[in-house]
Each structure stands twice: as structure tokens, then as C-alpha cells.
Amino acid sequence: MSEGFQPRILAFLCNWCSYAGADLCGVSRYQYPPTIRIVRVMCSTRLDPVHLLEVIRAGADGVLVGGCHPGDCHYISGNYYTENKVHATQRLLERAGLERKRLRLEWVSASEGERFSKVVTEFTNEVTALGPNPVSKSEEIQAALQAAIDAASSQRLRTLVGREYMITEVADVYGKKMPKEAIELAIDQAAEDEFYRNRIIRRILTEPKSVKQIAQEIKVPSDKVLQYIISLRGENRIGDAGHAGMSPLYIALQAGGE
Amino acid sequence: MPEEQNGQAPQGPPAESVEGQKGESDVPRIGVFVCHCGTNIGGYVDVPTVVEYVKTIPNVVHAEHNRYTCADDGLRAIKDGIENYKLNRVVVASCTPRTHAPLFQSVCESAGLNKYLFTFVNIREHCSWVHMNDKEAATAKAKDLIRAGVARAGLLQPQKEQRIPVIPVAVIIGGGISGMTAALSLANQGFPVHLVEKEAELGGFIRNLSNLWMESGDPKTSVEPTIKKVLEHPKITTHLGSTVKLVDGHIGSFRITVDKGGKDEVVEAGVIIVAIGAEEFIPESMYGYEQFDNVVTLAELEILTKTDAFPKNLKDVAFIQCVGARGQVQSYCSRICCNVALKNAIYLSDRINEALIKKGAEAAKDALQAQEGQGAHPSVRIDVSKETVADELIKRRRSRRDRDKATEPGAPPSAPSADQRANITIFNRTVNAYGVHHEVYYNRAREKRIKFVKYDLENPPRVTSEEGRLVVHYYQQSLGEWRALKVDMVILATPLVAAGSTEQISKVLKVPRGRDGFFLEAHVKLRPVEFATEGIYLCGTCRAPADITESVLQANAAASRAAIPLKRGYVQVEALTSNVDAEKCVGCGTCECVCPYGAIEVKQTPQGFKAQVNVAACKGCGCCASVCPQRAIFMTHYSDQQILSEALAALMDTCQGVSQ
């Protein structure tokens, strides 16, 4: 993109490995670009997809999540959940029209000071190549990110992502393991559905609209919008609001994913 | 759980309404202390400019810079600041919370401020030290980071810490000199100790040693009494032939599953000391090791000495130092090998000379009888002819010195000539005979004519075999040419390396290892005998190569650190726990399924199934909160709002809270 563009990257680092790795990087005087701002969390698993999307919506050009290497988590298994949550967030980012590469997950141990500087340098270069986060210039992307945040708050997606590790790596309630691909597919579907359902709701918060209008606005085929409208109406999340000519109008009864 | 948490809406309403609820007294009055850290920060960040900027951030009522905030006057400044400006939040922008948070927190507490109202901003490791060539950018970044810290500080709430009881029992893993010393120290203080040793007997690495120290010779006189004391101590339970299989729990109450030859035994303890020691590096296919006879490692030499199994007619010996260390295979200096080599070189020199003198005397007698003298030693074949000149000189000097020494008790009856004495050469990169005692032994080695020949990494010595004798080819630096030295034995000084079980123990205990495989202490200088995980300590060579003196010192240090919680009887756990908003909770159990500690469970209540948190078991990782489908879980001290406000403030030039 433009010359001289210096990305603003937010780094969420876990206290025990990545933050300590960043400390060691400093102690060892490995230099890296001044693009990141570090926020410490006790474990990378504390990070909710909502946090990550909020930071992107606030204009961060990139978000780095740093955790302990698989198997090394101070909290035993926290980083496996982090991985699943980051992947789900990346799907939502793509749905919202942003590059999934803007969100990066890295395992950095407390002894990998030099690696930390390499990770930051590499990610900075990658984000620089992607260019500035377009969110502040595009109302469309802002609206889409809002829907992504709503989707990340939705019960369906959170349950699936939350239980993904248990179902695929340990066992489900029937003592069986589910293939990773199957649950990934389910999460993908849930992410898509929840994203569009919330896109629709956000469009009819104040002003009643017809299926056709909504379909045009969010650039989704009318039949798909209709399906979502039917399911949302069944859940009592949208209601009828009269007619415009022959077309029925709908209005949201409740915003957000909860 | 402090009462005030329960009354608070778990998702955390925007900052304004919290203030409204809490009344005027809780309007944040934030004090910011920016540290120069000498030039560590001040040299790369324009600290005064940062402080001027910080003063403009909302809710900041006081900002100042200190040369060293962690020094006495810096700490006093914080205390005075809290008093003079009625601060109710303190932000320190300096180094890393991983080492210095407890210090600043205790100062806040001493001034009557709850320690959870303190925020740490790292502008050294994460800023000044990594942007040393860009003062402008580093200064801008420091401003951003402090702004983020201030945003977080404004949202912090005081917390009360839980006290959990400590089982007054210690488990020590490893029955070497470190483990035994630590065990005796704790047991003598009255605490029951379980000592777990994987071998069938106690003693560890030093069982192999021939003599521990120059004069104090036999390990039997120093180590075996220790072993006996441990075995006979009424407070020490020794588990021989046992390994640690599983550990769960936390400081105060660990459950350690000990695998006793296939049979599991569960031990409950309040603290754990790791003293699993190290192993010697095996120099596979280096310097003729395993290729020629009589090429041995230092540890093998100790065993040969102990069992008196030397090659016959030993006279010419070469030590090669730093084999596999300091850049060859391992990166570090093993610290002990120079001294061990000196010890053994002196020992060999004495032993060989004694034997040669005896033999020489016998030969002389034989010669007298047979009227025909034979060579003192069949294998005397130093074919470096240039040495004869030097020998002449040495003979002259020796004759002078021997005159002086003639009255000394214990001096050899007659000085052996050059071909009648041990010829010991230590090939080294530097001799690190550090400290008071070792230098004495270095000098003694010089007096005994042990030669020190330097080599460097580019031209290390090579070991070959010619006509049944070993030959060390070495690059003589001062002459700038390759020379050859025929020897009877080559001893390779190899470094100590992390023991094979280090990895398994690090997984079981969830404690980190450094780049070289040894365990990584919490802080190399300030907390050298403990792990970052509370209640787990370490000592001896599992931490880094150390000699016996150092291992014993560390073991006593670790034992005294471990005795603190044992003696006190309780520990205070950080108030970082999860809290469930029962109204939002639908009892789905997702939190229960992700919690690695079983600290959150869905239970039947009059309101239906609701998740409930066991605060003592909760570690505060926040996994449950970040997957809760209802977003009904609130994390103490790391709430959604606190995390997001900090993140957004770091990005934007504003301190506004998050509105969702």
C-alpha cells in the first residue's frame, strides 16, 4: 500500500509464555518495529472472539495473539481453546470482508526472545502489505463487523467453538470423538448463519424493510434472506411491520446475538 | 469472593455508571510514576515529555518521573503520592510485572491502597530496549502503553484474597546431594519430607566421584554420612526406584502420584522441590571417543580413579577442555569442568610421579645389580625434540627451587628428571578457575608442571592413534603451526547437560525449561531457586551446571524458601477468579466442560441448573468466560471491559470506556 504506512498492531500476550518471551526479547535487546502495543492477559484463552473483533473494529490494522506452545499452557489446555477461537474469529473476519491474516496466532515460549522479535517483524511486514484497516473509511465494513461481533456473541457459535476441543480431542457425552472436519463444517455453517442473521437484524432495527430491500442492501440472494427471516421470526426476534405494496415488511424486536 | 463483586453486574457497565453507583469517593484519582531506569528507559524514551503527556490523560491527578522507581526514593514517591494527592489508583511505567509487580504492590498496600488498584506498564522490555534506534517512536509507544494502563487502572476494583491452608509436607524430587541437603534442611525444621529418587540408591551423580575435593578426598567421609542421615531421619520418607508420574493441585495442596516400580502411591504435600540433577554430555564420535581405548570423559576418569582401573604405565596424559561446550554442540560453559580437570590433573600427576619414582628407584637398584641401566619407562617417547632445550632451562630452575624447598615437609625426596615424571597437558580455550580456592589449585597445577595449551574453536585438537599410542594433534597458537603429542590417555572434559527426565518433569509440573534444556527459574538473579509457579522450587544441577558447594548452597536456599509457606500454614491466592451471573446462566455446562481444574460445576439450585465456581481451585485463566454462550461469566481483575478498554486505549488517543 502507501509508502510510509506503519500499521498499528495490538498484541494480546499470555502472562506465562509470550509476555515473558517479549520480556526476554527486550532483555536480549532484539529490536523490532514499534508497531505493536501489548496487552497482558493471564492466559490467551481469556480472549473472547468478541474482544478480537472489537479491536479490529476500533481500527487496529492487525491483532496478534500470543500463547504458550501446545502442551505447555500454564493452565494446561487453555491454548487449545485459543486456537479454536482464533480460527472462528478469522472466519468471521472474512465474512466481514477483511483479511483473515490481520489476526495472527503465535506460540512464543518464555525462552524464545529472539523469535518474538521475528514474529513481530514478520507480522508487521505482512500487515503493511495488507495496508491500513479499511474499517474507519467504510460504513459497510463497520456494519459487517458489527454483525460479526453479534455472531461471535451468539449462543450457537460460542457453544460449538467452546466445545470443539472436548468433542474432537477428548470425547462427547456419548464417549465418542467427532472428526475435526465435521465440527469445522458445523462451525463454518454457524458462523455464516449467525453473521447473516445479525446482518439482517441490524438493517431493520429502526426502519421496517422487505426481504428484497434487505437482500439488496446486504448483497445476499433474496431466497436466503427469506430463510433467515423465517427462522428469526420463529424465534421472535423480528416481527411483522405491515406491507409495502405486495411485500411484507419486517422489523427487529431485539438487537444483538443474545 | 469479596462481597462487592456479587453486587456488581458481571458484564461490567460503562465506567460512568460504576462511578455513579460507588459514589464520588471512587472517582479514579490516578497517579502515574514513570521510571528512567537510569538510562535503560531514559536513554531511549523521552521520559519528561511522556510525563507531560500523561498529565493530560483524564483521571490522572499526578504524574512524575523517577530515576529508579524501584529504589528507596522512588518507592517513597509512590507512598507520598498516594497520601498527598489522595490517589486511589497507581500506575508504574517501568520494567516488567513478572519481576517487579510484587514490590510496587506491597508499597501500595503499605500506603493503604489495595494491591489490585495497581497497574504495571512495561516500557523497558517492551519498549525502550526493543526500539533503541528510534527515540521518537519509542516515546510515542510509551505514551500509548501508559494511556492503556491508565484506562485499565480506572476500571480496577479492590479485591480480597482468599487464604488457603498449606499441607505442611514437602516432596523433593531427586536424591542427589541437592535433594538430600534440601530434605535434611526441611526435615530438621520439623516438616515431613518425601524424597523421590529414581535410582535404587541415594547419592546421585556424586556417587561416581573419586574424591570430592583436593584434601577432603574420599566421598565416603562426606557423602555417605549424608545418605545415612537421610535414611535414618524419622521425618524423611525415601521412595527409591520411584518416579513422579502425575502432579495436580496447587501450592498448599499438591497431589503427587509416585510410580514406585509400577505401583502408584499418592502423596499430598504443600510444596515441591525439584532437584533431579544433570547428566554428563556424551561426546559421541568426537576426539576419538569410543573409537580408541583410553579416550574417556572426565566422569569416566572419576570412575577409573575410584576403582583404580587405569591403563598400565600411565605417564603422558592430555585433557581436552570444553568438549561439546561453549559453541560446540552445547552453547554454554559448564562451569565445573576446568576445576574438575585441575583436580584430576594434580591427582594424576602426583600418582604417576609417585609410581615413576618408585619404579625409577627399583630400576636403579636393578641396574646396579645387573650393571646395566634400562630406560625408566618403556613408553617414554616424547618426540618433540625442541622440548629438550626447555628441559635444560627447567632443570636449572628446578635445581634452584629444590634448594629452597628442601626443608619443606613432604617434598619429594629427589626431583625426578623430565623423562621420569608425569607429562600432563590440558588443552583449553581458557581456564576458568574462578574464585578463591580454584585459583590456588591452578597455581598448584602450574607448580606441578602441568602444561596448559590454548586452542580455539577454528582449530580444535584432533585425536588419532599411531603405533598403538594416542596422538593429540594441536595447533600451537604462538608458533602458528600444528604439533603432535603422543599420550597414553586422553580425557575429554564434557559439560553437564539437562537430565533426560527434565522434559517429563517439566510437563508433569508445568514448569518451563530454558534454551539449553535446564529448568528455568522465576528470575535468574532475584528468584533463582524457585519457579514462577508458586510452591515449586528448584536447586542443584537441574537448574544449571554447579559444583557441590553451589548445589548445597542452592539446596539450603530452596529449602528455606519452601519452608516459608510450610511454616506460615497458609497462602494467599490471587483474587483472579471467575464469577457466574446466576441470572444470565442457563446451566448449559460449556464452562464445566472447558475448565482444566474442575473449578466450575453446574449444580441444581432453586432457580434451576446454574454454574458455580470453587474459588480455591479456580486459577483465573478465563477460559470459561470466553466461551460462555450466555456471556454470563465475569472475570475478577480481567473483565471484558478492563481488557477491551486497555486495548482500545492503546490504539486510540482517548481513554473512553467501551460501549457495546
CATH number at residue A207: 1.10.10.10
Has residue A220 been placed in a domain? yes
Has residue A147 been placed in a domain? no
Chain B residues inside the 8 Å CB shell of A26: 96, 124-127, 129-130
pLDDT band at B154 (very low <50, low <70, confident <90, very high): very high
Q: Is A51 in CB contact (< 8 Å) with chain B?
A: yes
C-alpha cell at B386: 625442541
Has residue A247 been placed in a domain? yes
Residue type, B65: H
Shared domain check, A214 and A124: no
> B170-277+499-572: which CATH number, 3.50.50.60, 3.40.309.10, 2.30.40.10, 3.30.413.10?
3.50.50.60
Burial class (CB in 10 A: 0-12, 13-18, 19+), B412: middle
User: Which among B213, B218, B219 has a CA at the least distance from the CA of B440?
Assistant: B213
DSSP alpha helix (H) spans, B449-568: 502-509, 548-568
Shortest Cα–Cα distance, B98 to chain A (Å)? 8
Shared domain check, A238 and A161: yes
Whether the per-residue pLDDT at B378 is higher than 70: the answer is: no
Only one residue has cell 525502550, namely B128
pLDDT digits (tens, 9 = 90+) for B406-419: 444 444 445 556 66
The arithmetic mean of pLDDT across residues B439-443, rounded, is 91
CB contact under 8 A, B638 and A42: yes
- From the candidates B626, B640, B641, B658, which should be mutated to test the interface with A, based on the most A CB atoms within 10 A? B626
Whether the per-residue pLDDT at B162 is higher than 50: the answer is: yes
Please give the helix or strand (H or E) that residue B118 lies within, else none. strand B118-122
CATH number of B3-161: 3.40.50
Which among A76, A103, A133 is the end of a domain? Answer: A133
Which pLDDT belongs to residue A3? Answer: 58
CB contact under 8 A, A31 and B133: yes
CB contact under 8 A, A23 and B133: no
Mean of the per-residue pLDDT values for chain B? 86
pLDDT digits (tens, 9 = 90+) for A97-150: 999 999 999 999 988 999 999 999 999 999 999 999 999 999 999 999 999 999
Query: Residue B594 is nearest to which of A48, A71, A162, comparing CB atoms?
Result: A162
pLDDT digits (tens, 9 = 90+) for B544-595: 999 999 999 999 999 999 999 999 999 887 899 999 999 999 999 999 999 8
Shortest Cα–Cα distance, A245 to chain B (Å)? 36
Which pLDDT belongs to residue B357? Answer: 84
Task: Provide the pairing of β-strand B316-320 with B423-428.
Answer: parallel
CB contact under 8 A, B635 and A46: yes
CA–CA distance from B16 to each of A119, B11, B28, B513 (Å)? Answer: 38, 14, 11, 45
Q: Give the chain B residue whose CA is nearest to the CA of A30.
A: B130
CA–CA gap between residue B612 and residue B606 (Å, rounded): 13
In chain B, list all ranges with CATH 3.50.50.60.
170-277+499-572, 295-370+379-405+413-496
- From the candidates A14, A56, A76, which should be mutated to test the interface with B, based on the most B CB atoms within 10 A? A76
Residues in chain A: 258
Chain A residues inside the 8 Å CB shell of B643: 12, 39, 41, 46-47, 51
Whether the per-residue pLDDT at B198 is higher than 50: the answer is: yes
CB contact under 8 A, B625 and A12: no
The arithmetic mean of pLDDT across residues B176-190, rounded, is 97
Three-state SS for chain A is CCCCCCCCEEEEEECCCHHHHHHHHHHCCCCCCCCEEEEEECCHHHCCHHHHHHHHHCCCCEEEEEECCCCCCCCCCHHHHHHHHHHHHHHHHHHCCCCHHHEEEEECCCCCHHHHHHHHHHHHHHHHHHCCCHHHHCHHHHHHHHHHHHHHHCHHHHHHHHHHHHHHHHCCCCCCCCCHHHHHHHHHHHHHHHHHHHHHHHHCCCCCEEHHHHHHHHCCCHHHHHHHHHHHHHCCCEEEEEEECCEEEEEECCCCCC
- From the candidates A31, A45, A72, which should be mutated to test the interface with B, based on the most B CB atoms within 10 A? A45
CB contact under 8 A, B623 and A43: yes
Has residue A3 been placed in a domain? no
Has residue A140 been placed in a domain? no
Residue B393 is given by DSSP the state H
Shared domain check, A99 and A18: yes
Query: Residue B129 is nearest to which of A27, A51, A71, comparing CB atoms?
Result: A27
Q: Is A85 in CB contact (< 8 Å) with chain B?
A: yes
pLDDT digits (tens, 9 = 90+) for B228-274: 999 999 999 999 999 999 988 888 999 999 999 899 999 999 999 99
Which pLDDT belongs to residue B416? Answer: 55
What pLDDT tens digit does each residue of chain A (258 aa) get? 445 899 999 999 999 999 999 999 999 999 999 999 999 999 999 999 999 999 999 999 999 999 999 877 888 789 999 999 999 999 999 999 999 999 999 999 988 999 999 999 999 999 999 999 999 999 999 999 999 999 999 999 999 999 999 899 877 778 788 899 999 999 999 999 999 999 999 999 999 999 999 999 999 999 999 999 999 999 999 999 999 988 999 999 965 544
Shared domain check, A170 and A125: no
The arithmetic mean of pLDDT across residues B478-501, rounded, is 94
Q: Is A11 in CB contact (< 8 Å) with chain B?
A: no
- Domain of A70 in residue numbering reads as 9-133
The arithmetic mean of pLDDT across residues B615-628, rounded, is 90
Has residue A145 been placed in a domain? no
Has residue A31 been placed in a domain? yes
pLDDT digits (tens, 9 = 90+) for B337-366: 999 999 999 999 998 998 888 887 887 787
Which pLDDT belongs to residue B390? Answer: 56
What 3-state class would DSSP assign to B111? coil
Has residue A203 been placed in a domain? yes
Burial class (CB in 10 A: 0-12, 13-18, 19+), B160: middle
CB contact under 8 A, B650 and A85: no
User: Which among B138, B140, B165 has a CA at the least distance from the CA of B39?
Assistant: B138
Fold of B295-370+379-405+413-496: FAD/NAD(P)-binding domain (3.50.50)
Shortest Cα–Cα distance, A211 to chain B (Å)? 27
CB B33 within 8 A of CB B90: yes
- From the candidates B98, B125, B331, B506, which should be mutated to test the interface with A, based on the most A CB atoms within 10 A? B125
Chain A residues inside the 8 Å CB shell of B514: 111
Chain A residues inside the 8 Å CB shell of B125: 22-27
User: Which among B331, B272, B549 has a CA at the least distance from the CA of B541?
Assistant: B549
Q: What ipTM goes with this model?
A: 0.95
Which among A77, A103, A133 is the end of a domain? Answer: A133
In the stretch 528-547 of chain B, residues with CB closer than 8 A to chain A read 532-533
CB A152 within 8 A of CB A51: no
C-alpha cell at B317: 596424559
Mean pLDDT: which of A215-229, B303-317, B414-428 is highest? A215-229
Chain B residues inside the 8 Å CB shell of A62: none
Number of domains in chain A: 2
CA–CA gap between residue A2 and residue B98 (Å, rounded): 39
Which pLDDT belongs to residue A102? Answer: 97
Which pLDDT belongs to residue A119? Answer: 97
Shared domain check, A201 and A167: yes
Which pLDDT belongs to residue B399? Answer: 60
Chain B residues inside the 8 Å CB shell of A29: 129-130, 132
Query: Residue B627 is nearest to which of A16, A39, A162, comparing CB atoms?
Result: A162
CB contact under 8 A, B590 and A159: yes
